[in-house]
Structure 1
Amino acid sequence: MALHVIASLFLKPEHAQAGEAELRSMVVKTRAEPGNQRYDLFREQDGSPHLHLYEIYDDQAAFDAHVASPHFREFRTKSADWFAAPPVIRVLSAIDVAG
């Protein structure tokens, strides 16, 4: 069963550009991972520096592999001081999702 993830990242304004650039790089790398079905990056329309990811993985194992990937670990290390608040990660199981 597919695993859906919504990750909200609350960047400090002074790190907004660097955060977006790093996440754009993550998009390319994560979409190439086995078991990744979707990895989309969004920004809020109000101009805030907050970014959001919508992710779909084949299963928990694919998600775990993503979290263990070198590019994910590198992003976590590089961005450790970029956040105004801790990221909010919601892992969801689909009930009724359009195909």
Structure 2
Amino acid sequence: MSEAIHILALITIPEGKAAQLEKKVQSCAAHSLKEEACQRYEISRDAEKKGRFTVSEIWASQAGFETHLASDHFVELASYAEEHGAVLEVIRQQPLQPAS
């Protein structure tokens, strides 16, 4: 059995592009949740800094995560973010305790 992949992504985009990015992130989340390997895909908007979002993801396997990265919906989101000056920080996490 392969180990689940835990990802935390922080996306920061100029304020003028935040509303459009939010729509794209929501669309990506809706499609991602339908992927077989997706166990969690939760997006949040920063309550204090406009233009900053977090995405918390859990993938059943490395192969499932790589399939996600190649999906049309993810590629569309990543392309939009890059074209509009977003800064992306991706953290691959290792949980210290089991999920509750």
Counterpart of 1:97 in structure 2 is 98
TM-score when scaled to structure 2? 0.89
- Structure 2: any 5+ residue segments left out of the alignment? none
What's the Cα RMSD here? 1.3
- Structure 1: any 5+ residue segments left out of the alignment? none
After superposing on structure 2, the runs of 4+ consecutive aligned residues of structure 1 that deviate more than 2 Å are 81-84
Q: Which has the higher strand share?
A: 1
Residue by residue, what CA displacement relative to the aligned partner does 1:49-86 show, whole Å, maximum 9, x if unpaired? Answer: 100100000011111110011111122223323235x3
| Residues matched between the structures, number | 98
Residue by residue, what CA displacement relative to the aligned partner does 1:5-27 show, whole Å, maximum 9, x if unpaired? Answer: 00000111010000000001001
TM-score when scaled to structure 1? 0.90
CA distance in 1, matches of 2:17, 2:44: 16
Counterpart of 2:26 in structure 1 is 24
CA distance in 2, matches of 1:18, 1:70: 18
Larger deviation, residues 10-19 vs 42-51: 42-51
Counterpart of 1:48 in structure 2 is 50
Counterpart of 2:38 in structure 1 is 36
